[in-house]
Amino acid sequence: MNDKERQVIVVADDDHDICKLVEIQLSRHGFQVFTANNGDSALVLIFVHRPVVALLDIMMPGLSGLDVARRVRDNPATSQTGIVMFSARSTFGSEADLDELGVDDYIIKPFSPQDLVRRINDVINRRRTDETTQL
Amino acid sequence: MFNQAMQISEHAAVVNRLVELDNVKDDFIENMNHELRTPLTSIIGYMEMIIGDVDSRVEPQLASSLATVQRNALRLQVLIENMMQISKTEFDTPRLVVSKLDVGHLLGDVIKSMDLVAKDCGVEVTLRLDSPASDLLIDDDLNRLGQVFINLVSNAIKFTPREGKVSVVARRAFADGDYVEVTVTDTGIGIPSEEFPNMFKRFFRASTATQALIPGFGIGLSLVRSIVREHHGTITFDSTVGKGTVFTVRIPVRFIPTGPPDGTT
């Protein structure tokens, strides 16, 4: 089992088809994927599994993607989680919110599954580099 | 005095109603956008994975059919993007959320995203950077410049017959200011010179395109010019029927946040 096979991603989207699409694609690239269809479940999965990246849809029933991101950042145990937001809207609301939350990347739907993997790997590598720099 | 107060009150009520209607319109457009993009995400995403699983040497007909589905899904995506951008360009105030755009990287991504479409159309697409990538950084208002190059490259592919070529070249230039220049050149069907003045008008389509039965709505170039103008840039083109077309976009390296766009084309 290599390093990537142990890396966990939590994916949250209220559209089941898109959730499954992302799960299949990321699993094929060696990630362990946990999926949620609402913000509350996503938060539980993140706190339990401590993913390297959480991929969050902005609009979900219950807690929104931004709400989840805020709580993840506020918890010292998960504050360093990579956060990628995605949305089928053409804007992500307040750019200031994204900056304030330290969102690592945001993706507008539709997206290419190949591109998604590349961007998640970029986030992981950037966070790894940042950690190394801080040591 | 009383009548004047009544008029002001009525005027305020009309303004409030118009603002209300404008908000309803914005909500409708944004909801439509969301409802269209969500199923398209599944179509494009699953299709990309299936195409990756099919061996075109073993099942060439299936591979070709899937590529056709994907090409049309991507056309739909470009159309949705254009419709959204046009509604924003027309109704919204200019936005000034400026970020640095790596033009070389962006063009690479644009061409990569159209790789399957280009192959399906039998058109070769190449990218050349005539300046170091670090010199090709420009100010982009809310990532809107990507839409310019997506439209120009997808048009070039669409209007170029099989075995034709599309070449994209980017360079930093200083002749009349400091800007990044991108040219998109194709060996396509071309545009009659008498139609040049109409090419940026919305819904106008070149006679060569309609005669060749190439589908489209004639909104892409209109949108491209709007976005380029908002960035205080220019777009020009030259074309010869039967030989091809070259579009040249020049965008200032630094965004100018004040004053109206110069409107130069």
Phi, psi of B186 (to 5 degrees): -125, 165
Domain boundaries, given as residue ranges, for chain A: 4-134
Average pLDDT, whole number, for chain B? 83
Mean pLDDT of B213-242: 86
For B108, B138, B143, B181, B249, the CA distances from B199, given in Å and listed in that order, are 26, 26, 24, 20, 15
Q: Is A126 on the interface with B (CB under 8 A)?
A: no
Distances (CA, A) of B142 to A67, A118, B115, B186, B227: 23, 22, 25, 28, 11
Whether A111 and chain B come into contact, CB under 8 Å, resolves to yes
d(CA A26, CA A29): 5
What is the distance between the alpha carbons of residues A130 and B156, in angstroms, rounded to a whole number?
41
Angle between helices A16-28 and A113-134 (to 10 degrees): 60
Cβ-defined contact of A109 to B41 (cutoff 8 Å): yes
What CATH architecture applies to the domain A4-134?
3-Layer(aba) Sandwich (3.40)
What does the mean pLDDT of chain A come to? 88
Higher pLDDT, A92 or B3: B3
Res B237 pLDDT > 90:
yes
- Under the banding of pLDDT at 50, 70 and 90, the label for residue B260 is very low
**Residues in CB range of A117: below 8 A, 6 or more apart:** A25, A26, A29
Inter-chain residue contact A109 with B38, CB threshold 8 Å: yes
Taking the C-alpha atoms of residue A57 and residue A65, their distance in angstroms, rounded to an integer, is: 5
Rounded-to-integer distance, Cα B82 and Cα B119, Å: 24
Stretch B184-197: mean pLDDT: 93
ipTM surpassing 0.90, yes or no?
no
Q: Which amino acid is at B230?
A: E
Q: Are A8 and A25 in contact (CB under 8 A)?
A: no
- What phi and psi, each to the nearest 5 degrees, are found at residue A51? -70, 160
> What is the rounded CA–CA span in Å between residue A20 and residue A41?
16
For residue B38, give the chain A residue with the closest CA. A88
User: Distance (Å) from the C-alpha of residue B207 to the closest C-alpha of chain A?
Assistant: 32
Domains of chain B: 2-91 (1.10.287), 98-252 (3.30.565.10)
Of B30, B40, B49, the CB nearest to A110: B40
Q: Tell me the pLDDT tens digit for each residue of B9-38.
A: 778 888 888 888 877 877 787 788 888 899
Percent of chain B at pLDDT > 90 equals 28
Section B147-172 average pLDDT: 92
pTM: 0.66
Total Cβ atoms within 10 A of residue B136? 23
Q: Say if the Cβ atoms of A90 and B48 lie within 8 Å.
A: no
Give the pLDDT score at A100: 78
Where helices occur in A9-112 by DSSP H, the ranges are 16-28, 39-49, 65-74, 95-101
Q: Label residue B259 by pLDDT band (50, 70, 90).
A: very low
Strand order in the sheet with A53-57: A32-36, A8-12, A53-57, A82-87, A105-108
pLDDT tens, position by position, A43-85: 999 999 999 999 999 988 889 999 999 999 999 999 999 999 9
CA A26, CA A13: separation in Å to the nearest integer? 15
State pLDDT tens for residues B71-124: 788 878 887 877 777 766 554 544 545 567 888 988 988 888 788 788 888 999
Pick from B88-102, B129-143, B174-188: least confident: B88-102
Burial of A71 (0-12, 13-18, 19+ CB in 10 A): middle
The whole-angstrom separation of Cα B108 and Cα A36 is 33
What letter would DSSP give residue A36?
E
A8 lies within 8 A of chain B by CB: no
Residue A24 has pLDDT above 90, yes or no: yes
A18-42: average pLDDT: 95
**pLDDT score of B83:** 77
Whole-number pLDDT of residue B161:
92
Let me know: does B170 contact B137? Beta carbons within 8 Å: no
